[in-house]
Amino acid sequence: MGILIVDDSKLNLLYLKGILERAGYSKIRTADCALGALQILGLKDGNPPRKPADVDLILLDIVMPGMDGIAACRTIKEHKVYADLPIIFLTGNRTMFKEAFNAGGMDFIEKGSPEFELLARVKSALKLKKEMDIRKNREMKMEKELQLAKHLQSSVLSLPIVNDSIRIHGKYIQSDEVSGDMFYWAEVGRNKYAVLLLDVSGHGLSAALISMSIRSLLDGLVGRLIDPHSVCEELNMKVLNLFKNSKHTVYLTAIYLLIDLETRLLHYFNAGHPPALIFSKEGEIRQLKGTTIPIGIKKDIRGNVQTEPIDRLSKILLYTDGLIEQPGLSMKESIFSLGSYTQEFQHLSNEKFVEQVAKLAIRETDDICIISVDLKR
Amino acid sequence: MFTYQLIEKEHEIVVLCEGDIDIDAGDVIEEDIQPVLSLHNRIVFDFEKVYFVDSSGIGLIIRLVSDLQEAGKAVRIEKIRPEVTEVFELLQIDEILGKQVFE
């Protein structure tokens, strides 16, 4: 690991370099003034380098002509690339200690201290730096992985459907982490559209893993079965089977809509999910009632499939619970307030409507999915 | 933060629950509460001081109560607050665990 020694006394530089070299440190550089040190660190023109110099520890004299050690330390620490670079002050007296530590120094060595003390302090500073580097690298890798996972998760979401008789738009607002919300829709026959919104219990990586594994079933399952009753039962069985060896309860809440534009009927099931909101052409808002237990808990699940004529409907709004978890409001109150909020935007184009609803999403701890189905012809 | 107290009565044991039931309550429920309850046949969970249950918490409750029921124990959950009742109703927990749990 690289060590930079900064001291205006050439004698001191040689002395310290000698001790460190004898102890086996080989990458040692020296500077006889603060500016020389800044130059080695690539900071001379005030701009930080893109990559930090190969220095893992600085031994820095305090009293030097021109810029002193404390000012140099402050300048180095101003740059993010060197925020974690340990600086040990070399000093002849203790009067400037407070200022030196405030400037960002991590330790000090009194001039004239025995060799073993110098070596012990250098060793522990370098050890700390190494551990910090390892941790930072790991964090960076994890962050990259997380970004990739988030990208993959949103890449499997269905694209909008827009035609003369129906428009389906969705928005997936990701939290800091990945999570278990997912939406899916498809044209499943002539003038028939299936829309599914699901929310896997829990948060984070495990929920995302579960929702992605369920996503891989959907093309076959929804496309083949279509009918809400069968989709509900089959999805329930698949989830139970998939996670039967898990010691945790894996379940998900879901809403499934089958919109038949020929018969002008909407068939749906709601497995423990907050109710969808439907907007009539006259602008009235209602909740789609009727629920069953969540998917993946019990072997026998009754779909409790409901039917609703769509002739008088202009819009259907589906959302996951992140949108309605408002501090201080009960769920019922939150759903009611969602209704009043969306009322004034219902005449916007479907895409813009979804954008407006998304503005309600203020929490960053949970993912939020929003789907709007616009039925105006 | 989730804590509990056990109150042993003549014919039953009462688990006084306090705090939020979410993923962080998992260790307490699975490692501390569940083993103790295996010695009792009638178990009452007092939810008067449970203010928040999230989806992970629901999973924990379902697993705990179902395991106890499978072991032949009578389980009841009492004094559930309105904000928690809303969540239980949405997910139809009475349908899952049996209505007798809430009577």
Q: Average pLDDT for residues A214-223, to the nearest whole number?
A: 93
Q: How many helices (H) and strands (E) does chain A have?
A: 9, 16
Mutation choice for A interface testing from B55, B56, B95 by most A CBs within 10 A: B55
- The string of pLDDT tens digits covering residues A89-106 is 998 777 888 888 899 999
Alpha-carbon gap, residue A161 to A114, rounded angstroms: 77
Domains detected in chain A: 3-147 (3.40.50.2300), 156-374 (3.60.40.10)
How near does any CA of chain B get to the CA of A374, in Å?
Answer: 26
Here the ipTM equals 0.84
A249 chain-B contacts, CB cut-off 8 A? 59-60, 62-63
Check CB contact under 8 Å for A253 and B95: no
Give me the residues of A, 245-264, that contact B with CB < 8 A: 248-251, 253
Inter-chain touch B59–A298, beta carbons under 8 Å: no
- Residue A47 structure tokens: 């701009």
* Alpha-helix residue ranges (DSSP H) falling in chain A: 10-22, 34-40, 69-77, 97-102, 115-155, 204-225, 228-242, 331-343, 350-358
For chain A, what is the mean pLDDT? 92
Contact with chain B for residue A272, Cβ under 8 A: yes
- In tens, the pLDDT along A287-321 reads 999 999 999 999 989 888 999 999 999 999 999 98
Q: How many Cβ pairs closer than 8 A exist between chain A and B?
A: 49
CB contact under 8 A, A253 and B83: no
Task: Tell me if chain B has a CB within 8 Å of the CB of A240.
Answer: no
Class of domain B2-102: alpha beta
| pLDDT band with cut points at 50, 70 and 90 for residue B102 | very high
Of A143-152, A318-327, A342-351, A360-369, which range is least confident?
A: A360-369
Instruction: For chain B, say whether A292 makes contact (Cβ under 8 Å).
Output: yes
- Whether A363 shows a pLDDT value over 70: the answer reads no
Task: Classify residue B29 by its DSSP letter.
Answer: I
What percent of chain A stands above pLDDT 90? 75
